[in-house]
């Protein structure tokens, strides 16, 4: 799922969809919290670790939106070029 999450985050970053990323992060936090509160013989630790990795990916996407596009856009193939003064 991490590869899929990375692709989803990349699209949201390309489209500058901060709210969508924040909503996605909040959803993942809720899932992790619910899994941590489960009192069951089943071990949810693998799922929790996966969700935590996805939260890291989302946070990295949010960080990209906080930096100038010229620094991250080439990695997504957007082709933005900085203007020379």
- According to the model, what pLDDT value does residue 85 have? 38
| Cα distances (Å, whole numbers) of residue 81 to 42, 43, 57, 63, 78 | 51, 48, 25, 20, 9
The pTM score is 0.76
Domain count, the chain: 1
- According to the model, what pLDDT value does residue 66 have? 85
| Separation between Cα atoms, residue 55 and residue 32, nearest integer Å | 10
Residue 84 belongs to some domain of the structure? no
The pair of three-digit structure tokens given for residue 20, joined into one six-digit string: 């969508």
Residue 11 belongs to some domain of the structure? yes
Contacts of 79 by beta carbon, 8 Å cutoff, 6+ apart: 73
- Domain ranges, residue 34: 2-76
Query: What DSSP string runs through 35-62?
Result: HHH--SSS--HHHHHHHHHHHHHHHHHH
**Residue segments in the chain with a per-residue pLDDT below the cut of 50:** 82-85
- According to the model, what pLDDT value does residue 39 have? 86
Residue 81 belongs to some domain of the structure? no
């Amino acid at each position: 799922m991490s590869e899929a999450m990375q692709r989803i985050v990349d699209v949201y970053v390309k489209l500058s969809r901060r709210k969508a990323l924040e909503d996605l992060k909040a959803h993942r936090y809720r899932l992790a919290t619910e899994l941590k509160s489960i009192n069951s013989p089943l071990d949810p630790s693998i799922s929790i670790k996966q969700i935590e990795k996805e939260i890291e990916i989302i946070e990295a996407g949010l960080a990209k939106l906080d930096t100038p596009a010229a620094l991250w856009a080439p990695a997504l193939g957007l082709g933005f070029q900085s203007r020379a003064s």
